[in-house]
Each structure stands twice: as structure tokens, then as C-alpha cells.
């Protein structure tokens, strides 16, 4: 029942918000709803929750099953933390029709939670698409100048990908022994190697577009840049995780042979993507684009480690799913505060943030360190494990991916230098009043960064069962 | 049987209603009451109650499936008239005349859901078609409407001829019109009879493609849909098309399955060209009404998947499909009727002026595009599953999916106009009651999209 309520709270709140007119009231409702969701997520993560299972479409044996194992829990935690953080941090931003905006945000949250909880392939697909629709409207209505074309590209890309996954689901479904969509039946489906390859390709297309893996990434930087920042945060912190989640939930257990056969191919693509994104990030002057490319590089590393197909790498990815989300939200919030108050995203026009607002300066440095995975920060734990796994997979590939660490240091520290240090620039001088709620959120997130960096054991415990399932047969 | 008799009688009754009552509103009320009576009569038979017993020499057979389709069609017509009554009254002199035609069409439809004999099938199609020619040309002062009616009539007559020729061939090969007769089995015939049988089959196949407007036999569709008064386009593109599609599926799932290969190859060709023509041409339309005409062709492409095999998925799927498609289309046309002009630009800024209307339009469009939470998703899902199960190549399914992605382009163009473009929408005043009526359609779409089970379970009672 807890699982059903965590899904229905944002949904009900979203519907209520459709009828709310005042901005203030809407803010409270949305933040309260996301706060309750966070509490429930914490409860589920650390106390566990019973499966919710009820009949849905009996004639084709599709069931409404919600289930939470380690993999789901860690993403529930991430979704749970992200939304209140995002909503509070952007609560002072000037957004037209805020109630509708928040309503769509909460619909997105419902879709995301559904994806992470679904224990039935058709239900998974259902939520997978559902998470996309509100985002389409959010970006197209509240986005930047080129929003309509960019969002449409993003939508068509991901929609096409998920349709391929739908064929994959149908294909596996017709080969299940009991004609059911349950994960267990899918795992036991009677597929020969050729069919596995086809099904793998169909599922993989959807996940590769979502992550995205080079060369299917072209929708992403534009979409991140053009979306309103609150949505960008959702996209980059939580939504891209849908792709990685899909790989771990469906690809690895369902098509082990096809997965192994493709690991070289995908790892190489991912590493190309990492280097490509890192080099582009170095050349960026726009802070939002820089963070976007940096995020692509990080996700690339996660997909490489996942497809290296060993236990240590998968462990790293499971931890990093959470850490990357927290770090990237932190960076976005800082970028957003600066943009809201100064009206610029260009690094050239910044400088002297540390003098102007020392707290924000320190936080920027802190999140920058987390972004390059310095020890003591949360990202170090995950990235260390992931590089370890890549090294086991192939030292040369590990070396190539390792270059990205250096590159990450270059672009991140460059950003810090240009933004935080030097004389106070004309634009930064405009930042007279600190944005208190946003800074509060940043401090809380930073505490999470350090805590999970120093003492990551709870996260390991949380994901142990998923790891065991994937690797110990 | 109840439905066939009741609808014919009600049709005659409606014809005289315009003599007795002068008020058009009264006509609509009588029609609605008549439709309710029709639904009840049909439900009675579904539960085993017969009003009359006629020896129809086994030329009709009433199956659970057919009767349930009747129920769906009648309910859809009821909703359609309930929504559009005022608009129908605006056309021509007496609304009652049109309602009479509707009842005759439904009479044809109920024959088409229960035929067991090729002659009955033919009669059903004719009873269904002839009122349609009149409806198309009912806007007498509009040249487009006249042209459309003439075009429709000529094309329709031509395809009827082809259909008759096909029946003749089959009769020549087997000596019977009866569909369940054992002699209607091509495997036992000699080579010459086999040939005649195949020729007949292909002619009937072609003629049906005319009726459901599948490419390359679709050329009449855009002009007729565009020329006819929008209320009647709404009726033709949904309820009539659904009926023809059901008859098509039932006929080819029956005896003709035996001769599979010959027409399945042809079907694949028709299916691909329908998806291609419908989707690609829709992309370039400037008028929403024409776009909907082409989109209705594209939707037929998906429905044709049901023909591949008489699986559970195909049977349930086609029902789900006609429900989801008809409800969404009637709703969309219902919005379109209220527009002063039909260009995409006319919808600019609709979301600001009429948020509820724009929201419902979006829902209908999402359903046609097949997005989850709307009925269209399960409709498409069942069709694709039927296709995979029947063993045709995955490539065909993948191709269909690509075209589904193309369809996103033109459906979303309308959403973009409503939500993301500023402007003054060219819309008439819409009274609150009308919006609530449309809301029923929106709720139905959501219902079909969340619990399709509810709508399908009656199939098995």
C-alpha cells in the first residue's frame, strides 16, 4: 500500500493544482506533496515495502504490480530528494501560471516514480511514456526562445525509441510460457539467441536514446539549454536515469547473452561519447551548456561501466545513480541563482562571486569538487568503482575513459575560476540579496554529498539485493 | 434481428416525424429516444430475448461479437447525436430527415455485423451506403458538398459493381452464397474453380478497401470528407467506417482464411501503402479537416493489422480500436464544428481562451497518436500484438511504428498551435453545456486508456 500511496500523492496533488489559482498556495501544495513523497521514499528505502499487486487487464494478463528492490529504492530516494529540492530552490523564480507549471511537474514525478516501481512490462511502458508527456508541455510552454522546435525533436526522438521498446515487449511477451508481462515470466521467456538479439536491439534503442549514448545524444544539449531550469534539473538528474534503470531492470536480466555479445560495442560508443562531451564542455562559455555536456560525460561513464558487465562496475553505477543526481542538481541550482539575478549565463561576464556572496562561492567550489569526483565527495565512491570495472574490462578503454577525469577537472575548475574568483564583475555586482531558500537547499544537498561520500555504507546495503540478483545466479 | 427490424421501423417513423412536429429540437429528442429504444432492443437480444421470430434461412447469424458491435455502434451514434443535435438542425430543412437516414444506416450496420451470406453482406453494404450519398450532398447550396456527393456516389457505385462481380465469381466457383456452407471451401475445388474463387476474393477485397478507404483505393476520401458538412463527416469517418471495418474483418476471418496467402500478400501491400499515403500526406495539409481525413486513412492502416489472423488480440483489438478511434474523432470533429475556419492558424492561442476545450482536444489528439493513458494506446497495442502473434515479419510492425512516429508530427502541430502560439482563435461562442458533453467523450477516452478491460469484458458475457 505504501507503494501505491507514493505514486498517488503527487498524482492527486497535481490534479488539485489544476484548480488552484494563487501562486503562493500552489507553491505550498506542491512542496508539501513532494515533502510527503520524500518521507515515504525514505520509509520505503530503509524499511522496505510489500509489493502491490492487482489485476489490471485480465484478458491479456497484464497486472498492476508495484515492487521495490534496491535498484528501485535508490532511484525512489533520488526522485524523492530531487523534487522538493528543485521546487524549493526555484520557488522565487518568476514563472507564469505557476500552478499549472507545478501541476505538470508533479505529473512528471508520478510518471518517474511509476517507471521505477513498475513490476510488469506493460505497466513499465505505460509510465515510461507518461513521464514524457508533461515534460513536453513544460518545455514547450515555459522554455527558451527555440523551445518548440527543440522540444519537439526531443519528444519525437524519445517517442520513437520507446515505440521500438514496445515491439520488444510484444516480442518477448509472445514467447513467455504463461503469456504474461511479469518480470519473472519475461526472464524465463523462451528466446533463442537470434530473438534475444532482436529484442535486445529494440529495448536498447529506447534506453540508448534516453541516456543518451553517442551518437543518439543530439537532442540533449539543446533540450537542457532551452528547458526552464527546474525542468532541466528533472531531466538531467532523474529522467536520464530511466535509461540506466531500464538497462539494469530489463536488458541485463532478460537477454544476458545478447548483453554480453554487445558489451564491447556499447562500451566503445560510451567512451567516445565521454571524450566527445568532455572536449565540447571545455569550449563552452554558456554555464548551462557546460553543465549539460558535463552531465553527458558522466552518464557516458555510467553506461560504459554498466556494459562492462562486471559486478564492481554495476555496484559503482548503482551508487552513482544517486550521487550524480544530487551533484548535478546542486550545479544547476547555482547556475539558476546566477542567471535569475544577473540575467546572464556567459562565464565571460561573471567573476567575483566568492567576494560578492561567499556562501554561494563556497557551495560552488564544493559541488565543483563533487563533479570531478574528489575524495570525500559522494561521486568519488562511484567513479572509483566504475573505473576499476573498466580497467578489469580492458585497460586501454579504462585509460581512454580516464582522460575524461582530467578533462572534467579542466572544464569544471575553469568554470569555478571564471565564476567565483577575480574582480567582481558588473553583472555579478547585481547579486545583492541572497536567494535564501535556494541556498538552504544547496546546503542540505551539500551535506548529503559529504555524508554519502564519507559514509556510503547505507547506499551499498540498499542496493546489495539488486547486485546479488544480477550477478549471482 | 431485433436491431435490424427496430432500426428500419424507427427510420420510417422518423420520416414522418417532420410532418407532425415542427420543432427541430423535438426531432432530436425523438431520435435520441429512438436510439435508446434501439440499444435496448439489441441488449434484449444479447440476453436472449427475441421480439419476433422470422425464418431467415440461416442467411444471418447472430453472434455475441456481432451483437456487442451493434451495441457499441448504437451507443456511439447516440453520443454523436446527443453532442451534435443542434448542428444537424442547422443543415437542410428538417433534421428529422437526417435522423431517418441515420436509422437506415444503422439498419445496414446491424446487417453487416450479422451476415452469414454474401447476398446479405451486399444488401447490408448498400443500405449503409445510399443514405451516405444523401448526407454528403445535404448542404445543397454548397458546391463542394454537391461535388463530394457526386464523387462519392460514382466511386461507391463503381466499387459496388466490383463487389458484385466478386460475389459472382465466388458463386460460380462454389455454387453457394452461404458463408458457412462446406462447399465454400476452395481446397476441394478443381484448378479452374480455385482460380475463380481467388479472383472473386480479390475483387471483394478491393471493394472493401474502397469502403474503408485504404490506399490505393482512398482517392475519394479527402474530397468527400472535406466537402460534406462537418457534422456528417464526423459520422462517416467514425461510425460508418468502423462498421465497414468490422464487416471486413469478420468476412476475412471466416472462410476466406483458408486461401490465406494470395490475399495476405495483397493485404501487406495495401497496409503499407495506406500507412504511407495517410501519414505522409497528412503532414502537408493546411486544413485541419483535411488533415483529419488523411489521418483517418492512416488509422485504417493500423486497423488492417486485425485482418492477419483471427486471434484474440485481433478480435478484441479491432473493437477497442473502433471505440477509441470513433470517440476521439467524434470529439475532435465536435471541436472543429465550432471553429469559424479550419486552418491550423485558426487554433492559435485556443488554450488561453478556452482551456478546457483545448485540453480535451489535446486528449483526443493524443489518443489518435496512441499515447498511453488514452484509449488509442491500447488500440494500437492490441493491433501490434495481433500482428506479431499472427507471425508476419517484425519489419512490418517496425514500419508501422515509424509511421506512428510520423503521425505525431501532424497531431502535435495542432497542439503546438493551441498551446505555444499566441493569437486570437477563430472560434464561435461555445456554451458551457456543449463542453460538458465533450467532457463525456474525454472521460471515455481516459477510461479506455486506463481500464480497457471494462469495455471488453462484455464480449464474453
Mutate to test the interface with A, among B360, B401, B407, B421 (most CBs of A within 10 A): B401
Rounded to a whole number of angstroms, the distance between the first and last alpha carbons of chain A is: 30
Q: What is the pLDDT of residues B248-300, one digit of tens each?
A: 998 888 766 666 666 788 889 999 999 999 999 999 999 999 999 999 999 99
- A contacts of B420 (beta carbons < 8 Å): 140-141, 147-148
Q: What is the pLDDT of residues B181-224, one digit of tens each?
A: 666 565 555 677 778 888 888 899 999 999 899 988 888 999 99
Residue numbers of the domain that contains A328: 255-473
What is the predicted pLDDT for the residue at B446?
Answer: 93
Q: What is the pLDDT of residues B38-51, one digit of tens each?
A: 999 888 888 877 77
Range 207-246 of B in CB contact (< 8 A) with A: none
Which sequence spans correspond to the domains of chain B? 1-136, 137-460
Any chain A CB within 8 A of the CB of B278?
no
Q: CA quadruple A461, A465, A466, A469: dihedral positive or negative?
A: positive
Does residue A390 belong to any structural domain of this protein?
yes
Does residue A25 belong to any structural domain of this protein?
no
Any chain A CB within 8 A of the CB of B454?
no
Q: How far apart, in whole angstroms, are the C-alpha atoms of residue A426 and residue A350?
A: 8
CB contact under 8 A, A130 and B372: yes
Q: Give percent of chain B above pLDDT 70.
A: 96
Cβ pairs A/B, distance under 8 A: 76
Does residue A163 belong to any structural domain of this protein?
no
CB contact under 8 A, A174 and B457: no
Q: What is the pLDDT of residues A8-67, one digit of tens each?
A: 999 999 999 888 888 888 888 989 999 999 999 988 888 877 888 888 888 788 888 898
DSSP states of A46-89:
HH----EEEEEEGGGTEEEEE---HHHHHHHHHHHHHHHHHHHH
Any chain A CB within 8 A of the CB of B401?
yes
Three-state SS at B117: strand
Q: Quick one: how far is CA B3 from the chain centroid?
A: 18
Residue of chain A minimizing CA distance to B393: A171
Query: How many domains would you assign to chain A?
Result: 1
Q: How far apart, in whole angstroms, are the C-alpha atoms of residue B458 and residue B438?
A: 25
Chain A residues in contact with chain B using a Cβ-Cβ cutoff of 8 Å: 56-60, 122, 125-127, 129-130, 133, 137, 140-141, 147-148, 152, 155-156, 159-160, 163-164, 166-167, 170-171, 173-174, 198
Structure-block grid coordinates of residue B86: 443542434
pLDDT band (50, 70, 90) for residue B77: very high
Q: What is the pLDDT of residues A62-113, one digit of tens each?
A: 888 898 888 899 999 999 999 999 988 888 877 888 888 899 999 999 999 9
Q: What is the pLDDT of residues A195-225, one digit of tens each?
A: 889 999 999 999 999 888 888 888 888 888 8
Does residue A222 belong to any structural domain of this protein?
no
Q: How far apart, in whole angstroms, are the C-alpha atoms of residue B35 and residue B81?
A: 9
Three-state SS at A120: strand
Does pLDDT of B64 surpass 70? yes
**Which residue of A133, A160, A174 is in closest CB contact with B371?**
A133
Q: What is the pLDDT of residues B312-339, one digit of tens each?
A: 888 889 999 999 999 999 999 999 999 9
Query: CA of B263: how far to CAs of B247, B249, B391, in Å?
Result: 16, 13, 15
Q: What is the pLDDT of residues A219-244, one digit of tens each?
A: 888 888 888 888 989 998 899 899 99
Any chain A CB within 8 A of the CB of B389?
yes
Q: How far apart, in whole angstroms, are the C-alpha atoms of residue A115 and residue A118?
A: 6
- B contacts of A58 (beta carbons < 8 Å): 453
Does pLDDT of A287 surpass 90? no
Three-state SS at A286: strand
Any chain A CB within 8 A of the CB of B371?
yes
What is the predicted pLDDT for the residue at B261?
Answer: 62
Does pLDDT of A340 surpass 90? no
Q: How far apart, in whole angstroms, are the C-alpha atoms of residue B292 and residue B289?
A: 5
Does residue A270 belong to any structural domain of this protein?
yes
Of residues A54 and B309, more confidently modeled? A54
Q: How far apart, in whole angstroms, are the C-alpha atoms of residue B158 and residue B129?
A: 12
- B contacts of A56 (beta carbons < 8 Å): 451, 453
Alpha helices in B113-190 (DSSP H): 118-136, 143-174
Does residue A280 belong to any structural domain of this protein?
yes
**Which residue of A122, A129, A163 is in closest CB contact with B401?**
A163
Mean pLDDT of chain A: 88
Q: What is the mean pLDDT of residues B423-433?
A: 87
**Which residue of A129, A152, A160 is in closest CB contact with B371?**
A129
Q: How far apart, in whole angstroms, are the C-alpha atoms of residue A366 and residue A376?
A: 11
Range 288-347 of B in CB contact (< 8 A) with A: 312-313, 316
Kindly report the three-state secondary structure assignment for every residue of A160-220.
HHHHHHHHHHHHHHHCCCCCCCEHHHHHCCCCCHHHHHHHHHHHHHHHHHHCCCCCCCCHH
**Which residue of B313, B398, B456 is in closest CB contact with A167?**
B398
Q: What is the pLDDT of residues A129-141, one digit of tens each?
A: 888 899 999 888 8
Q: What is the pLDDT of residues B107-143, one digit of tens each?
A: 999 999 988 888 999 999 999 999 999 999 888 888 8
**Cα–Cα–Cα angle for A230, A231, A233, rounded to 5 degrees:** 70
Amino acid at each position: 500500500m505504501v507503494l501505491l500511496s507514493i505514486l498517488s500523492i503527487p498524482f492527486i496533488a497535481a490534479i488539485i493544482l489544476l484548480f488552484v489559482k494563487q501562486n503562493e498556495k500552489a507553491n505550498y501544495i506542491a512542496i508539501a506533496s513532494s515533502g510527503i513523497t520524500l518521507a515515504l521514499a525514505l520509509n520505503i528505502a530503509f524499511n522496505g515495502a510489500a509489493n502491490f499487486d492487482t489485476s489490471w487487464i485480465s484478458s491479456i494478463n497484464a497486472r498492476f504490480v508495484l515492487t521495490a528492490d534496491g535498484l528501485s529504492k535508490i532511484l525512489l530516494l533520488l526522485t524523492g530528494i530531487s523534487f522538493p529540492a528543485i521546487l524549493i530552490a526555484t520557488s522565487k523564480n518568476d514563472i507564469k501560471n505557476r500552478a499549472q507549471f507545478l501541476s505538470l511537474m508533479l505529473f512528471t514525478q508520478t510518471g518517474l516514480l511509476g517507471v521505477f516501481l513498475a513490476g510488469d512490462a506493460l505497466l513499465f511502458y505505460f509510465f515510461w511514456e507518461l513521464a514524457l508527456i508533461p515534460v513536453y508541455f513544460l518545455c514547450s510552454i515555459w522554455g527558451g526562445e527555440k523551445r518548440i522546435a527543440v522540444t519537439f525533436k526531443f519528444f519525437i526522438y524519445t517517442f520513437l525509441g520507446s515505440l521500438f521498446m514496445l515491439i520488444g515487449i510484444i516480442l518477448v511477451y509472445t514467447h513467455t510460457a504463461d503469456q504474461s508481462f511479469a518480470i519473472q515470466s519475461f526472464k524465463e521467456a523462451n528466446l533463442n539467441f537470434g530473438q534475444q538479439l532482436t529484442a535486445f536491439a529494440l529495448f536498447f534503442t529506447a534506453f540508448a536514446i534516453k541516456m543518451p549514448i553517442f551518437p543518439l545524444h543530439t537532442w540533449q544539449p539543446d533540450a537542457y539549454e532551452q528547458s526552464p531550469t527546474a525542468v532541466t534539473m528533472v531531466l538531467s538528474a532523474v529522467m536520464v536515469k530511466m535509461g540506466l534503470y531500464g538497462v539494469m531492470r530489463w536488458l541485463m536480466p532478460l537477454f544476458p547473452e545478447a548483453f554480453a555479445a554487445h558489451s564491447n560495442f556499447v562500451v566503445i560508443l560510451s567512451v567516445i561519447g565521454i571524450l566527445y562531451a568532455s572536449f565540447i564542455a571545455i569550449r563552452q562559455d554558456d554555464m548551462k551548456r557546460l553543465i549539460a555536456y558535463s552531465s553527458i560525460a558522466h552518464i557516458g561513464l555510467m553506461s560504459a561501466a554498466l556494459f562492462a558487465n562486471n559486478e564492481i562496475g554495476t555496484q559503482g553505477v548503482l551508487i552513482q545513480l544517486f550521487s550524480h543526481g544530487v551533484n548535478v542538481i546542486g550545479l544547476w541550482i547555482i547556475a539558476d541563482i546566477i542567471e535569475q539575478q544577473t540575467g546572464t549565463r556567459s562565464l565571460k561576464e561573471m567573476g567575483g562571486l566568492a567576494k560578492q556572496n561567499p556562501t554561494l562561492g563556497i557551495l560552488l567550489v564544493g559541488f565543483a569538487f563533487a563533479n570531478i569526483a574528489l575524495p570525500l565527495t559522494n561521486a568519488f565512491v562511484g567513479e572509483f568503482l566504475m573505473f576499476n570495472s573498466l580497467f578489469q574490462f580492458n585497460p586501454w578503454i579504462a585509460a581512454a575513459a580516464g582522460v575524461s577525469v582530467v578533462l572534467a577537472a579542466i572544464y569544471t575548475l575553469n568554470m569555478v575560476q571564471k565564476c567565483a574568483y577575480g574582480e567582481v564583475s558588473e553583472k555579478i555586482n547585481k547579486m545583492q540579496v541572497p536567494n535564501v531558500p535556494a541556498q538552504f537547499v544547496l546546503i542540505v544537498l551539500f551535506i548529503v554529498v559529504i555524508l554519502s561520500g564519507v559514509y556510503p555504507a547505507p547506499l551499498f546495503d540498499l542496493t546489495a539485493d539488486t547486485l546479488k540478483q544480477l550477478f549471482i545466479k | 434481428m431485433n436491431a435490424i427490424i427496430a432500426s428500419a421501423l424507427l427510420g420510417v417513423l422518423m420520416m414522418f416525424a417532420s410532418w407532425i412536429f415542427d420543432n427541430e429540437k423535438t426531432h432530436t429528442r425523438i431520435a435520441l429516444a429512438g436510439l435508446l429504444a434501439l440499444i435496448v432492443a439489441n441488449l434484449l437480444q444479447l440476453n436472449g430475448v427475441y421480439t419476433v421470430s422470422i425464418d431467415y434461412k440461416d442467411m444471418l447469424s447472430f453472434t455475441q461479437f456481432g451483437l456487442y458491435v451493434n451495441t457499441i455502434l448504437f451507443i456511439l451514434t447516440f453520443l454523436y447525436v446527443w453532442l451534435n443535435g443542434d448542428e444537424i438542425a442547422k443543415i437542410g430543412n428538417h433534421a428529422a430527415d437526417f435522423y431517418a437516414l441515420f436509422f437506415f444506416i444503422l439498419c445496414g450496420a446491424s446487417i453487416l455485423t450479422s451476415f452469414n451470406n454474401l447476398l446479405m453482406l451486399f444488401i447490408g453494404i448498400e443500405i449503409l451506403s445510399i443514405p451516405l450519398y444523401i448526407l454528403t450532398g445535404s448542404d445543397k447550396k454548397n458546391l463542394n458538398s454537391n461535388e463530394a456527393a457526386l464523387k462519392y456516389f460514382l466511386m461507391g457505385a463503381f466499387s459496388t459493381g466490383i463487389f458484385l462481380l466478386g460475389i459472382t465469381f465466388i458463386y460460380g466457383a462454389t455454387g453457394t452464397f452461404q458463408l458457412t456452407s462446406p462447399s465454400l471451401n476452395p481446397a476441394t475445388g478443381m484448378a479452374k474453380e480455385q482460380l475463380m474463387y481467388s479472383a472473386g476474393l480479390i475483387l471483394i477485397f478491393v471493394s472493401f478497401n474502397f469502403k474503408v478507404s485504404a490506399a490505393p483505393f482512398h482517392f475519394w476520401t479527402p474530397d468527400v470528407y472535406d466537402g460534406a458538412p462537418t457534422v456528417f463527416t464526423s459520422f462517416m469517418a467514425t461510425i460508418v467506417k468502423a462498421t465497414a471495418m468490422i464487416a471486413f474483418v469478420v468476412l476475412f476471418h471466416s472462410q476466406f482464411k483458408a486461401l490465406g496467402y494470395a490475399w495476405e500478400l495483397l493485404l501487406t501491400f495495401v497496409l503499407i501503402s495506406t500507412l504511407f499515403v495517410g501519414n505522409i500526406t497528412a503532414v502537408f495539409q493546411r486544413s485541419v479537416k483535411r488533415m483529419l481525413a488523411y489521418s483517418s486513412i492512416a488509422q485504417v492502416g493500423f486497423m488492417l493489422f486485425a485482418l492477419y489472423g483471427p486471434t484474440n488480440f485481433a478480435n478484441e483489438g479491432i473493437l477497442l480500436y473502433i471505440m477509441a478511434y470513433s470517440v476521439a474523432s467524434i470529439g475532435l470533429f465536435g471541436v472543429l464544428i465550432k471553429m469559424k475556419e479550419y486552418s491550423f492558424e485558426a487554433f492559435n492561442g485556443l488554450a488561453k481562451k478556452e482551456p478546457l476545450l483545448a485540453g480535451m482536444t489535446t486528449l483526443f489528439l493524443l489518443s489518435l497518436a496512441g499515447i498511453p493513458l488514452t484509449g488509442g494506446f491500447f488500440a494500437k497495442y492490441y493491433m501490434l500484438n495481433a500482428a506479431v502473434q499472427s507471425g508476419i515479419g517484425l519489419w512490418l510492425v517496425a514500419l508501422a511504428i515509424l509511421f506512428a512516429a510520423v503521425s505525431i508530427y501532424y497531431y502535435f502541430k495542432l497542439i503546438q498551435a493551441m498551446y505555444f502560439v499566441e493569437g486570437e482563435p477563430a472560434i464561435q461562442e461555445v456554451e458551457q453545456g456543449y463542453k460538458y458533453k465533450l467532457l463525456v467523450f474525454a472521460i471515455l477516452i481516459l477510461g479506455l486508456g486506463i481500464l480497457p478491460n471494462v469495455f471488453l469484458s462484455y464480449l464474453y458475457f
